Amino acid sequence: MRRRAIATAALLALAALAIVAAASAKTDRAAAPSAAASADARLISCGKTVTMGMLAPVTGPAASLGKLQTDWAKFFVASHNRNKKLKHKLRIQYGDTVLGGPGGTAEAVKAVQSFGSNVLGTVGPAGSNEVRATTAPLKNAGLAFVSGSATNTELSTDGTRKGYFFRTVPPDSAQGTSVANFIVKTLKFKRVYIIDDQEAYSTGLADTVQAKLRSAGVTVGRDGVSQQQSDFSSLIAKIARDTQLVYLPWQLPPKGKAFGDQLRAAGKGSIQLMGSDGLFDDAFASLGNVYASSFPTSGKHAVVKSFKKAHGGDPEFFGAPSYVAAQVIGGAIDRACKDGKASRAEVRAQVRKTNLKKTVLGLNVSFNANGDIKGGQFGIWKSNAAGTWNPLG
């Protein structure tokens, strides 16, 4: 009996070793310079339909964010494909990154590996950690990747993704500075509590704001909650009643609303709330008299209006940068495909040359050498009692 168990265990171990060896061999081949070079320069016939990738959390805990991003990207592709002047149509191949799921960033890497050779460039990934995890496979494949939500400052400044990674949202350093300046110079608050949501986007932004506030002499409390958490009552009990503002650099607006509701239920409704661009949404605004930082978009922009019309009246601003990311990749593919053929290297080169005027973000979009938007900035917004956002200069 015991001998059989040992034999079975040995067989299982051998099988595991064989699988690991096979997987490593596959990875090595994928990483080989010659293979990378050929993927980079291989010309693909553009034909009638050209494929762009989209790396987003379609399932998993952050699927609600992924839906906003895919809705906006699909909206761009639909409007692009209505343009009869273009010789080809775009289609999106989705890669599900399962952001926040138990598999960690491995799912994002698998999603990249699922892309076929026909994918010419990709929107996403959504999260900063996912960007880090997928950098090697995306670079090896020669793909340009344009994220609509990865804001960690170092992603564009550490030099490891130069020429491949671009983003249509300004980095945390830009947003953190705007937020801290507003709290210190405009609101003149002295007691602030910051709660991050334990994701790279949120902790990076929270760190930036915390450091700037402390250096300005503000007393700052700090805590974190998981994105899966919906019960904030214990955390709220911990926040002193004389706190003037709670800053929530979160990605999920319904969580922000739940926090606000629970804050009021705890009799602490006098504490002001401020969210980051992730909370710049009708759900958070519906709390009334809350602040948020965001790019200077406007509900009056024609694209926002038609998106709202197509999606039951909800502008879902969080996904808007993914619309622009799809616009960047789609535009680069269109230009690269002018001669009927395109390579991933050509698409990357065209992404670098992007120059979009009056985008849905309220910004002109072109990129600096690091892949960040030139002159990217954040404004501060406040919702009125009816839950409508208004810019504060």
Instruction: Tokens for 77, please give them.
Output: 């592709």
The answer to whether 261 contacts another protein (rule: CB under 8 A) is: yes
The answer to whether 8 contacts another protein (rule: CB under 8 A) is: no
Residue 147 CB, nearest distance to another protein (Å)? Answer: 19
Distance CA 334, CA 346 (A): 11
The answer to whether 234 contacts another protein (rule: CB under 8 A) is: yes
Q: Can you tell me which of 8, 24, 45, 59 binds another protein, judged by CB under 8 A?
A: 59
Instruction: Tokens for 335, please give them.
Output: 């230009």
Kindly tell me which of 114 and 198 has the beta carbon lying closer to another protein.
Answer: 198
92-114 core/surface letters (b: 16 or more CB in 10 A; e: else): bbbbbbbbbbeeebebbbbbbee
Q: How many Å is the Cα radius of gyration of the chain?
A: 23
**Sole window of 42-50, 63-71, 161-169, 354-362 interacting with another protein (rule: CB under 8 A):** 63-71
Q: Can you tell me which of 74, 167, 255, 344 binds another protein, judged by CB under 8 A?
A: 255
Residue 258 CB, nearest distance to another protein (Å)? Answer: 4
**Sole window of 210-218, 233-241, 317-325, 364-372 interacting with another protein (rule: CB under 8 A):** 233-241
Find out whether 112 and 138 touch, Cβ atoms under 8 Å.
yes
Q: What are the distances in angstroms from CA 312 to CA 36, 315, 316, 371?
A: 44, 9, 10, 34
The answer to whether 289 contacts another protein (rule: CB under 8 A) is: no
Please give the angle made by the CA atoms of 289, 294 and 298, to the nearest 5 degrees.
Answer: 85
The answer to whether 310 contacts another protein (rule: CB under 8 A) is: no
Site string for another protein, 170-209 (x = CB under 8 A): -------------------------x--x-----------
The answer to whether 237 contacts another protein (rule: CB under 8 A) is: yes
Kindly tell me which of 28 and 223 has the beta carbon lying closer to another protein.
Answer: 223
Residues with Cβ within 8 Å of 323's Cβ and at least 6 positions away in sequence, in order, are: 72, 73, 75, 76, 148, 303, 307, 360
Instruction: List, as one string, the DSSP characters of 15-78.
Output: HHHHHHHHHHHHHHHHH-HHHHHHHHH--EE--SEEEEEEEE-SSSTTHHHHHHHHHHHHHHHH
Distance CA 220, CA 247 (A): 10
The answer to whether 387 contacts another protein (rule: CB under 8 A) is: no
The answer to whether 91 contacts another protein (rule: CB under 8 A) is: no
Q: Can you tell me which of 8, 24, 228, 368 binds another protein, judged by CB under 8 A?
A: 228
DSSP letter (8 states) at residue 232? -
Q: Can you tell me which of 44, 73, 90, 258 binds another protein, judged by CB under 8 A?
A: 258
Instruction: Tokens for 219, please give them.
Output: 């007393």
Is the backbone of residue 281 left (phi > 0), alpha (psi -120 to 50) or beta?
beta
* Residues near another protein (CB under 8 A), total: 37
Residue 64 CB, nearest distance to another protein (Å)? Answer: 5
Residues that bind another protein (CB under 8 A): 58-61, 63-64, 66-67, 195, 198, 223-226, 228-238, 252, 254-255, 257-258, 261-262, 264-267, 283
